[in-house]
Amino acid sequence: MGQALWPAKPQVAACPRLPGPSTNRARSHTPFHSAPAAAPLLRSPLPRRFRYANPVASHETEAILEMFRQTGAYLQGHFRLTSGLHSPEYLQCARVLMYPEYAGQLGRQIADALQALTHLQTFDMVVSPAVGGLIIGHEAARNLEARFLFTERNAEGRMELRRGFAVEPGETAVVVEDVVTTGGSTAEVVALLRQAGVSVKAAASIIDRSGGSADVGIPRIALATLKVVAYDPAACPLCAQGLPVVKPGSRPT
Ligand SMILES: [Zn+2]
């Protein structure tokens, strides 16, 4: 790649400063490393009682959550999750991924984790369910040197490949999402690819809201594993207070 194709100095000024990454493989041009060591970190505006209960108290998960806090991606209120459950908190991945530097960083981390999970296999493609998986899947594919495809729901609500995307029997793939809650979307993409004869090796997401329990039938990793506070609507204390519920994800209902 010619040097002129890549800007010599990425624009990082618009990105909030974050603590250093947990991996020593991060490249020096990321905003993590370009922030001066003495730079004061933005403080989380959230009181501790609003923070996610975190059953996997890893340094990696904490570093990802800090990225969400710093970018305003950690929302509080009254949300209807895709599962239909209600929650007082929501991680809006789009708010982090609107910073290309952070999208790139997360894509590298997912690619590294997938390589570790599959013992350095290579893949022909990364496939993501639209809309949530588009940016992170594309960044992961860049780092895995694979092509990137995405699925969309048709009028009946079923996942399908459109836009001339073609796959061949015998090809290999990984499925990448922004957030896994039940694993339903990832499992649908896996099934779609298998019907086409593609060998799906693993799945990944930035966030796992299932506490690690979501089973998609293939090896799976997440950069941050959490257990969200979620209520059945009939027993939701926020509904009982009469607070309007918001659907923050990409699906209309
Ligand atoms: Zn509610």
CATH code, domain with 185: 3.40.50.2020
Asked if residue 32 is part of any domain, the answer here is no
Domain count across the chain = 1
- DSSP H helices in 42-81: 59-70
CA of 61 to the centre of ligand 1 (A): 27
The whole-model pTM stands at 0.73
Between 181 and 102, name the one with better pLDDT: 102
Distance between CA 18 and CA 101 in Å, rounded?
12
Radius of gyration, alpha carbons of the chain: 19
- pLDDT score, position 17: 58
Asked if residue 245 is part of any domain, the answer here is no
| Residue 132: Cβ-neighbour burial (10 angstroms; 0-12, 13-18, 19+) | buried
Tell me the three state secondary structure of residue 223.
strand
- pLDDT score, position 229: 85
Best CA proximity match to 205, nearest among 110, 118, 89, 101: 110
140 neighbors 170 (Cβ within 8 angstroms): no
Asked if residue 135 is part of any domain, the answer here is yes
Tell me the three state secondary structure of residue 216.
coil
pLDDT higher than threshold 50 for residue 143: yes
Asked if residue 22 is part of any domain, the answer here is no
Asked if residue 166 is part of any domain, the answer here is yes
Asked if residue 8 is part of any domain, the answer here is no
CA of 184 to the centre of ligand 1 (A): 22
By residue range, what is the domain housing residue 130?
Answer: 50-240
CA of 51 to the centre of ligand 1 (A): 18
Q: What does pLDDT average to over the chain?
A: 81
Asked if residue 103 is part of any domain, the answer here is yes
Asked if residue 102 is part of any domain, the answer here is yes
Please write the tens of the pLDDT for every residue from 43-90.
Answer: 333 333 333 444 445 778 888 988 999 999 988 899 998 778 899 988
CA of 78 to the centre of ligand 1 (A): 6
β-bridge mates for residue 151, sequence order: 129, 161
